[in-house]
Structure 1
Amino acid sequence: MRTVPALLTAAVLATACAPSTQGPAAAPAPAPSASQDAAFDLAALVAAAKAEGSVTVYDSSGDIEDVAKAFTAKYGIQMEGVKSDSPETAEKMIREHAAGNVTIDATMYEDGGVLVGQLLPQQIVHTWIPGDLAKDIPPENQNPLMALAKATIFAYNTKLSPDGCPAKNVWDLTEPEWRGKVVMQDPLGKPTVLSFFTQLDAHGNQALEQAYQARYGKPLETKEKSAAYEWIKRLSANQPVLTGSDEDISGAVGAPTAKDSKIGFMSISKFRNNEEKGYTQAACTGMQPFAGFSYPKYAAIATKSKHPNAAKLFVHFIMTEEGVKHEIAEGGVSGNSTVKPLVVPEGLKDWKSELFHTDSAKLLADFQNRQVVSDFWRINHG
């Protein structure tokens, strides 16, 4: 089982174990606002970045390698893109900051809770908005700066279920017929799934209650704190198969050798396996009350970066279609409203209405409540 690195565990325990009703004095300091140059000059930034010579960016997706190639080709500045899970990236940036020996100049970071609860308040990183693009970035995407949003989708095998997704409602997945047949990443090692759980409790309870009423014909009755916690309890107790990678999920669900119908809870990017590997998988479109969830990926710059201008130029690049297309080519949306989605995964008809969406204003609460929901999952899955 993958676990959160020690430094992050200590930080989470120090804040998240406290009840969500705690007073302001017990909460982490608020994250500073994103900065913006008073007078932005792209040509001057390019020149300054070239003088620095290189830039290194960590990202949880291997797509960063393609971004790096495009960045280097465009500007002649050597960019190294490194694939690294969010917890490992955070721990490395914390250690480098403390030692004053920073090698990671910027990060594409998907764990918003740790970003606003630790990295930004402790000034390990900061976010910066390109002045010439500010008008194209909606206010809700500016603090912290959301570079793009990806999604985790409920998916099924179209060959084994030719009439459509065999699960029509998220509560179906808590029923005996789906015991041991939901395949997903272990939430204890996947920050975006933990955030999904806490966000559900923050602003998804009404939708879950309505879906329950539609499924069972009666109102939900629960001894748990909310509909979200009741659904999490039932899902975890139904013994989902936990993996360490979305690739494993995709293989279990959509591979040509698959014999049993399963529901996968996997990254939007794995739909590429249909073309590359001959898989037969599609999104559970129409599933009530959502077919999955979207989560932001934020762009942040190391405060002690030795290549601050090159890092800023990278942020500018990723906020344009030319840069972000390498990250959203298999599904996703840019934080820049003028950049249109390039592709929608098979079966998912509408990104906005069919997904549950992360609210960036609730990221600090995600951080504070993470240990609570982690323990709740662990107890019920055990």
Structure 2
Amino acid sequence: MRIPLAVLTTTVLAVAACAPSGSGQAPAPVAVPQASKDGAFDLDKLIAAAKAEGSVTVYDSSGDIEDVAKAFTAKYGIPMEGVKSDSPETAEKMTREHAADNVTIDATMYEDGGVLVGQLLPQQIVSTWIPADLAAQIPAENQNPLLALSKATIFAYNTKLSPNGCPVKNVWDLTEPEWRGKVVMQDPLGKPTVLSFFTQLKAHGETALAAAYQAKYGKAVQNAADEWIKRLAANQPVLTGSDEDISGAVGAPAAKDVKIGFMSISKFRNNQEKGYAQAACTGMQPFTGFSYPKYAAIAGKTKHPNAAKLFVHFIMTEEGVKHEIAEGGISGNSSIKPLVTPEGLNDWAKDLFQTDPASLLADFQNRQTVSDFWRVNHG
């Protein structure tokens, strides 16, 4: 019988949390294994051991992993298969393979930090490993779990339909009647990064959202994160299953209606490739969007542990990660500079709401509550 990942996640959540939200009792602690680091590291020996294993397969939510695979194989002569797979499907497959002792996914570039620290790492379905020769270049906050890179989801608009700039200046604008049905975004119930954004807002976004509310309406608001999420959901945003659909609805040459898209910065490549007209909502208060982490993890029962480690080493170098950040992104290796910044996104630290890695477990434990809250208000 096929058990959906949502059921698996809910089961783990029930074990992880000793009391329902609002009971005043803290959730039971979940032991999250720390990233490992080889004491005596020799890259040449790792390459030789990886070649002896023969191949490596890596799952990623981005199709860019196919370019990473080609570059990896070209460099080391080791066949690498890069497979695009959404995070929930990857977690479900890795969980089942681990239970069956039949592992085909050797490593993953995984963007759902909540499930990673709340399920995959504690159950030893995956582990994280830090290349010792690169450790000094990886900030401590990026090491547990190992942050390979950060990407971003931002509010964007059509520059031809709105030549004077983004027609919204404040995130609360999107909750007003004039924008009802005109915000296009991925369904949070199927997009873990958006759901994590909501839980992160509740954890450490209250002050910024309340200040933006005060600036717009001239009065205070209580529980700003809940209020914004509720109003946004009730304003009937158009929900899609892909960022490509959002990009098409907002920026395509045939677009006639002014819409705001909440989409991945990777879709800004459509400006060059398809003649789209998209730009970030620069200066939007209190943020233009949010950044989210993508972690590198190795399957706990992989048959190719050295090849998987070599992949992790590769992705933590500019030669490997450049394929993932070509349309925008920041490497977890601080020595690697960003390659490109999408039009209108000037300063990641200033313009974007930042995911706090210390809140990932709380994201996981609060996920069902936030999901239900969205579902009820979106109706």
User: TM-score under structure 2 normalisation?
Assistant: 0.97
User: 2:20 maps to which residue?
Assistant: 18
User: 1:35 maps to which residue?
Assistant: 36
Deviation at 1:351, TM superposition (A): 1.4
User: 2:108 maps to which residue?
Assistant: 107
User: 2:60 maps to which residue?
Assistant: 59
CA distance in 1, matches of 2:150, 2:261: 20
Give the direction of change, closer, same or farther, for the CA distance of 1:164–1:13 in structure 2 (3 Å limit).
farther
User: 2:184 maps to which residue?
Assistant: 183
Matches within 5 A, 1:299-338: 299-338=296-335
User: 2:359 maps to which residue?
Assistant: 362
Deviation at 1:68, TM superposition (A): 0.3
Matches within 5 A, 1:144-223: 144-220=145-221, 222=222
Deviation at 1:11, TM superposition (A): 2.8
Give the aligned residue type for 2:173.
D
User: 2:138 maps to which residue?
Assistant: 137
CA distance in 1, matches of 2:55, 2:291: 32
User: 2:272 maps to which residue?
Assistant: 275
Deviation at 1:15, TM superposition (A): 4.3
Aligned length in residues? 375
Deviation at 1:5, TM superposition (A): 4.2
Question: What are the superposed Cα offsets for residues 245-284 of structure 1, whole Å, 9 maximum, x if unpaired?
Answer: 0000000000111111000000110000000000001000
User: 2:120 maps to which residue?
Assistant: 119
CA distance in 2, matches of 1:264, 1:15: 35
Give the direction of change, closer, same or farther, for the CA distance of 1:4–1:172 in structure 2 (3 Å limit).
farther
Give the aligned residue type for 2:286.
P
CA distance in 2, matches of 1:4, 1:215: 40
Matches within 5 A, 1:85-96: 85-96=86-97
Deviation at 1:20, TM superposition (A): 6.4
Deviation at 1:349, TM superposition (A): 1.0
Deviation at 1:216, TM superposition (A): 1.1
Give the aligned residue type for 2:314.
F
User: 1:240 maps to which residue?
Assistant: 237
SS at match of 2:312: helix
CA distance in 1, matches of 2:15, 2:376: 21
CA distance in 1, matches of 2:292, 2:346: 18
Give the aligned residue type for 1:267.
S
Is the 2:250–2:259 Cα contact (8 Å) retained in structure 1? yes
Is the 2:252–2:275 Cα contact (8 Å) retained in structure 1? yes
Deviation at 1:9, TM superposition (A): 3.9
Is the 2:5–2:91 Cα contact (8 Å) retained in structure 1? no
Question: What are the superposed Cα offsets for residues 37-92 of structure 1, whole Å, 9 maximum, x if unpaired?
Answer: 01111111001000001000000000000000000000000000000000000010
Deviation at 1:179, TM superposition (A): 0.3
Is the 1:53–1:77 Cα contact (8 Å) retained in structure 2? yes
Is the 2:109–2:297 Cα contact (8 Å) retained in structure 1? yes
Is the 2:5–2:92 Cα contact (8 Å) retained in structure 1? no
Deviation at 1:13, TM superposition (A): 5.1
Deviation at 1:323, TM superposition (A): 0.2
SS at match of 1:189: coil
CA distance in 2, matches of 1:145, 1:21: 33
Deviation at 1:344, TM superposition (A): 0.3
CA distance in 2, matches of 1:5, 1:256: 38
Deviation at 1:21, TM superposition (A): 6.1
User: TM-score under structure 1 normalisation?
Assistant: 0.96
SS at match of 2:74: helix
Deviation at 1:8, TM superposition (A): 2.7
SS at match of 1:328: coil
The runs of at least 4 consecutive aligned structure 1 residues that moved more than 6 Å come to none
Is the 1:5–1:91 Cα contact (8 Å) retained in structure 2? no
CA distance in 2, matches of 1:276, 1:231: 35
CA distance in 2, matches of 1:4, 1:254: 33
CA distance in 1, matches of 2:22, 2:54: 46
Give the aligned residue type for 2:274.
K
Give the aligned residue type for 2:158.
N
CA distance in 2, matches of 1:262, 1:228: 23
CA distance in 1, matches of 2:339, 2:144: 25
CA distance in 1, matches of 2:116, 2:185: 24
CA distance in 2, matches of 1:271, 1:12: 36
Is the 1:8–1:87 Cα contact (8 Å) retained in structure 2? no
Q: Unpaired segments of 5 or more residues in structure 2? A: none
User: 1:84 maps to which residue?
Assistant: 85
